């Protein structure tokens, strides 16, 4: 759960608990039990969405790591082969061999 979500959730839960303990006074402020129950239901949904989001973040973290390792594995041989073309042919011919560098 993100820190922002965690803080909001905790504040809302504390508020709900406080209002339920003093329901008569809450009602005099126009706050009904049904509203507090609805807020609690929304918080439960928020927690579920937050857990799902955290799972996706973890999955994304793993995939980004895989992507970076794959890119590193491609980058080195690509640069080495491109360097061979650049060092053996004049710049005017690089494009003919798929090297789009300008220098």
Give the rounded distance of the alpha carbon of 38 from its chain centre: 28
pLDDT digits (tens, 9 = 90+) for 68-78: 999 999 999 99
Listed by start position, the domains of the chain span: 3-97
Under a CB-based contact definition with an 8 Å cutoff, are residues 46 and 9 in contact?
yes
10-residue stretch averages of pLDDT, the chain, 103 residues long: 93 97 96 97 97 97 98 96 96 95 89
Q: pTM here?
A: 0.69
């Amino acid at each position: 759960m993100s820190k922002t979500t965690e803080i909001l959730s905790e504040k809302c839960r504390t508020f709900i608990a406080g209002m339920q303990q003093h329901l008569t006074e809450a009602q005099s402020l126009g706050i009904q039990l049904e509203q507090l129950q609805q807020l609690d239901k929304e918080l439960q949904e928020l927690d579920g969405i937050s857990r799902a989001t955290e799972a996706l973040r973890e999955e994304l973290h793993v995939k980004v790591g895989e992507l970076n390792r794959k890119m590193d594995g491609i980058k080195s041989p690509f640069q080495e082969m491109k360097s061979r073309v650049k060092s053996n042919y004049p710049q005017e011919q690089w494009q003919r061999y798929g090297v789009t560098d300008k220098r």
